[in-house]
Amino acid sequence: GAVVSQHPSRVICKSGTSVKIECRSLDFQATTMFWYRQFPKQSLMLMATSNEGSKATYEQGVEKDKFLINHASLTLSTLTVTSAHPEDSSFYICSARTPPGYYGYTFGSGTRLTVV
Amino acid sequence: GIQVEQSPPDLILQEGANSTLRCNFSDSVNNLQWFHQNPWGQLINLFYIPSGTKQNGRLSATTVATERYSLLYISSSQTTDSGVYFCAVSAGGTSYGKLTFGQGTILTVHP
């Protein structure tokens, strides 16, 4: 239980194109999801908090027009990297708070984005 | 915001050895988790332990909330234990739900 599914696991795109990453809570409802970014050999940094039915809140320094977040339902949040550039290449991973009966936060399997 | 420091940054062991990883945090927390990140990037939740002691097989963890640190113990290490171990915490208030990660400990277990 408390599984978060993230797709795609790996994507390569051309510079200037947009990429959408999906994060689904499979067996529970997640009114809030979190998006993290991890550069090679570094830790995870919170990018934004996705709230179902309302606007996402972004951490300081994260460009909201570059990283569009949509949380249209209680089980799905999407992150769209718009006009991607090589410096956007990174590992993106989503998270949700676990439902009652579980503890802490559960994470998706991550998406490795490479912009060429 | 809350600061999280992990030590050591790197750890190399022979199979069968024991180890202790440490996580210090700068403020009171309502959530503390230990994760193992495998080579494919997946974060495996090891423990949810904002306070107290827990054990799961060869792994155990202790958090002393009043002194703001947590320890992860790995006994009889195996090569499959290799990877990065992260401590992550969240506090209340405006930081509710936002996990702050430490820089991680890279563990390498040699056969």
Mean pLDDT of A62-75: 93
Residue B38 token pair: 């495998």
Interface test with A, best of B87, B99, B103, B105 (most A CBs within 10 A): B99
Report whether pLDDT(B97) > 80: no
The pLDDT tens digits of the residues spanning B39-75 come to 889 999 999 999 999 999 999 999 999 999 999 999 9
What pLDDT does A75 receive? 93
Establish if B14 touches chain A: CB-CB under 8 angstroms.
Answer: no
Confidence of residue B96 (pLDDT cuts 50, 70, 90): low
The tokens 């992260």 sit on which residue?
Answer: B86
Is the preceding peptide bond at A99 cis, omega within 30 degrees of 0? no
Number of A/B CB contacts below 8 angstroms equals: 51
What pLDDT does A76 receive? 95
Closest residue on chain A to B45 (Cα): A106
Residue A31 token pair: 């009114």
Mean pLDDT of B74-96: 89
The pLDDT tens digits of the residues spanning A11-29 come to 999 999 999 999 999 989 9
Establish if B83 touches chain A: CB-CB under 8 angstroms.
Answer: no
Strand, helix or coil for residue B66: helix
Query: Residues near B66 by Cβ (< 8 Å), separated by ≥ 6?
Result: none
Report whether pLDDT(B95) > 70: no
Strand, helix or coil for residue A14: coil
Interface test with B, best of A3, A39, A46 (most B CBs within 10 A): A46
Residue B21 token pair: 């990883």
B75 CA: distance to closest CA in chain A (Å): 24
Q: How far is CA B46 from CA A104, B36, B63, in A?
A: 11, 7, 14
Confidence of residue A103 (pLDDT cuts 50, 70, 90): confident
Establish if B40 touches chain A: CB-CB under 8 angstroms.
Answer: yes
Confidence of residue A100 (pLDDT cuts 50, 70, 90): confident
Question: What ranges make up the beta strands (E) of chain A?
Answer: 4-7, 10-13, 19-25, 32-38, 44-51, 57-58, 67-73, 76-81, 90-97, 105-107, 111-115
Confidence of residue B94 (pLDDT cuts 50, 70, 90): low
A70 CA: distance to closest CA in chain B (Å): 18
Mean pLDDT of A86-110: 91
The mean predicted confidence, pLDDT, of chain A is 94
What pLDDT does A31 receive? 87
What pLDDT does A93 receive? 97
State how far the Cα of B46 lies from the Cα of A103, in Å rounded to an integer: 11
State how far the Cα of B9 lies from the Cα of B99, in Å rounded to an integer: 20
B48 → closest Cβ in A46, A91, A103: A103
Establish if B99 touches chain A: CB-CB under 8 angstroms.
Answer: yes
CB spacing of A97 vs B97 below 8 angstroms: yes
Establish if B48 touches chain A: CB-CB under 8 angstroms.
Answer: yes
Report whether pLDDT(B5) > 80: yes
Interface test with B, best of A103, A106, A111, A112 (most B CBs within 10 A): A103
